[in-house]
Every structure is written in C-alpha cells, then in structure tokens.
Amino acid sequence: MIEVKNIEKVYQRGSERVYALKDISFIARKGDFISITGPSGSGKTTLLHLIGCLDKPSKGFIKIDGIEIEKMKEPDLLTVRRQKIGFVFQHFYLIPGLSVLENVMLPLIFARKKRDLDEIISIIDKVGLKKRIYHTPNQLSGGEMQRVAIARALINNPEVLLADEPTGNLDTENSENIFELLNSLNLGGLTVIIVTHNPELAGRTKRIIKLKDGKME
C-alpha cells in the first residue's frame, strides 16, 4: 500500500518559490490501477518521482508498505527502489548493446540478486517476448521495446509498477497492446500507477488522479 499525505513539492527559482505539487493526498492499495492525468506542467511526473523514491517531498509524507520514505537518506531510498518499485519510461531507455535478456536482468545486477534463468525467461514470456530474448533493442519495434522495459521493471518483483507515459511514444495499436499488458499485470495483483496524457486510457484505469497546477482537482 502506498499512502500519500498532504505532500508539497517546492522548487526555488531565484527568489521565487514554485509549487510543483501542493496538498496531494491519496492512497493506492494493493492491486490498484491508478492513472495520473493533467496538462503539461501540472506536476504529474513530479508526483511519480516522489512515489518512486527518486525525489523527496518538501512537506507531507509518503509511506510505501508502511515505510516512511521522506525521512530516508539516499542509500535507503535506493533499497526501496530496488525492492518495491518498478519503473517504465516513455522513452524505454534500453541499453543498445545488450540483448533483451541482459536488459531485463539489469536491475538484478544493481540489486546484487541472482535469479534462475528460467524465472527470468518466464517474466519475459509474460510480456510476450520469449522468442526474442537474444535480440538487441535495434531489432525490436517500439512496442516490443516497451515490453522489454516492462519486463525489466518486473524482474525484482516490485510492489508497484510506475509508468511515465508508457504509451507516449507508441502508435495506437502498440499503445493498446501495452495498456492491455499493464492491465493484465494489474489483474494479476500488481499495483500499477501510470502518468498519461491520454484520457481514453486514463478512463480505463480503476482510478484517475487529475492534477492541475500541482493540485488535485
């Protein structure tokens, strides 16, 4: 469970204080599928970063599985990221020279964890790329690359999958496929939080958090 309570994120720009987020509170329970929507600059990505332990709120608190993260120092945040969170990005960010298998294994290396090859392959199978484990990113389509990125996010068995515009770089058909994949992962019990511009996709998640000027509508 992720608990977000009264958080604020303030940036200092010269003498001006800019509120990226103001008074945000919500709870994401296990198995939730939440979309964060809103216009550009409304603070969607900032909120995702805070939930993803990439940044700390200026005020308020965030609890992930009962752990308060806003008081944590970087090494502990790193541990939370490794154990609890899977990230998917708009631009996939696969490493070009590495195969699908190696890209998916990357978080294991950083977390100093070992998993059986069979287990890893079964995760790649979940995203439908079992036959392409030795292909490199340049041999894959955009939709396939995002699948690899999702498999990579799943490799550490996270509590929550955070996706920043996961379909933002894909055509309609691939967007649909990726959304369906996220949906099926959610149906399997995984908490999924996505940031999206696409109101149609947002409408198909269980809950929508709409942001405007850093505040919830």
Partner 1 sequence: MTYIKLALKNILRHQTRTFLALLGIATSVALIFSIISFNRGFERGLSKELDATGLHFMVVSSGCPHEVASLVLHAAVVPKFLDIDIVNKLKQFDGIELISPILITQLPNPQKGRIDIIYGMDMNHISQLKPSWKIDGQLPSNDSEVIIGFEIADHDKLKVGDMITYTDYQKSFKVSGIIQKTGSQDDAYIYMPLKAIQEILNKPQGVTAIGVKVSRPQELNYITEEISMNVPGIQIVTMGQVLNSLANLAASAKTLSLSIAIIAIIISAVGVMNLILMAIFERTQEIGMMRAIGASRQDIFNIIMYETIIITVSGGIIGIIFSVAASGIIENFVRIFMPYVPSGRMILFEPLIAVSCLVFALIIGILSGTYPAWKASNISPIEAIRG
Binding site for partner 1 (CB under 8 A): 45, 49, 52, 54-55, 74-75, 78, 81-82, 86-87, 89-91, 93, 95-98, 102, 105-107, 109-111, 152-153, 156, 164
Smallest separation, CB 89 to partner 1 (Å): 6
**Three-state secondary structure of the chain:** CEEEEEEEEEEEECCEEEEEEEEEEEEECCCCEEEEECCCCCCHHHHHHHHCCCCCCCEEEEEECCEECCCCCHHHHHHHHHHHEEEECCCCCCCCCCCHHHHHHHHHHHCCCCCCHHHHHHHHHHCCCHHHCCCCHHHCCHHHHHHHHHHHHHCCCCCEEEEECCCCCCCHHHHHHHHHHHHHHHHCCCEEEEECCCHHHHHCCCEEEEEECCEEC
In sequence order, what are the beta bridge partners of 64? Answer: 2, 67
Of 19 and 206, CB closest to partner 1: 19
Of 79 and 183, CB closest to partner 1: 79
Smallest separation, CB 30 to partner 1 (Å): 21
